[in-house]
């Protein structure tokens, strides 16, 4: 099993790359999807009641309310990450164990580096794009103002810092056709990595 960590900041196109890899046979462990499911677990819900009581509506975590709280307060983001990363890591490990006999498994996670999930991967791939393109995409995707979009972008580790920590970079500042070409190059690189035997036991 070759495990690849795939990450990228908001609206940089990580999910598009993930879909393209899935269409080529990769097993995707979607940590961002798992992050939406963790609030169904009793242990997480108890911690949320203590740390984010204002985000609970009828005993359930309202993710929209929670987003409004954390995107405007860095300290609250750290509180949320402390709760969520532990559970997501546990679930990712379980998924990797279930897929041990598969050829290529991709951990798809926006916070792969921040949460130290890269420790589970043989290689880390970062999808990045021009900052103006990122801002425009985010405003259009979520129908938000440039001010709100910038808040969300700035709540994440910078793309430049992530580039220094990645093994491979994909520039997604262009169109989908260009991205398909970049993914084809990545597939060739993965084959090289596997031949070199740089795979975690």
What band does 201 get if pLDDT is binned at 50, 70 and 90?
A: very low
Domain boundaries, the chain: 2-195
pLDDT exceeds cutoff 70 at 96: yes
Contact yes or no for 179/20 (Cβ under 8 A)? yes
CATH of domain 2-195: 3.40.50.300
Interaxial angle between packed helices 131-142 and 146-154, expressed in degrees from 0 to 180 and rounded to the nearest 10: 120
Supply the pLDDT for residue 164: 96
pLDDT digit string (tens) for 18-70? 999 999 999 999 998 998 899 999 999 999 999 999 999 999 999 989 988 88
What does the pLDDT average to over 114-136? 95
In angstroms, the CA 168 to CA 157 distance is: 17
Contact yes or no for 170/129 (Cβ under 8 A)? no
Which residues of 78-194 form beta strands (DSSP E)?
Answer: 104-108, 123-128, 168-171
Question: With pLDDT > 70 as the criterion, what percentage of the chain qualifies?
Answer: 98
pLDDT digit string (tens) for 145-159? 999 899 888 888 999
């Amino acid at each position: 099993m070759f495990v690849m960590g795939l990450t990228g900041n908001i609206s940089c196109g990580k999910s598009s790359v993930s879909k393209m890899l899935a269409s080529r046979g990769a097993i995707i462990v979607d940590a961002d999807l798992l992050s939406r499911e963790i609030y169904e677990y009793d242990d997480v819900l108890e911690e949320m009641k203590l740390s984010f009581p204002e985000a609970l509506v009828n005993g359930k975590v309202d993710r929209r309310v929670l987003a409004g709280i954390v995107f405007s307060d860095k300290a609250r983001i750290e509180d949320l990450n402390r709760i969520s990363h532990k559970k997501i890591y546990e679930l990712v490990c379980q998924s990797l164990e279930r897929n041990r006999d598969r050829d290529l498994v991709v951990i798809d996670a926006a916070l792969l580096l921040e949460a130290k999930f890269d420790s589970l991967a043989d290689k880390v791939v970062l999808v990045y794009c021009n900052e103006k393109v990122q801002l425009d995409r985010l405003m259009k995707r979520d129908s938000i103002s440039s001010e709100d979009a910038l808040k969300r972008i700035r709540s994440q580790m910078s793309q430049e810092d992530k580039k220094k920590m990645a093994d491979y970079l994909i520039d997604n500042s262009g169109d989908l056709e260009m991205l398909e070409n970049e993914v084809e190059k990545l597939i060739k690189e993965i084959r090289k990595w596997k031949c070199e035997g740089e795979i975690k036991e």
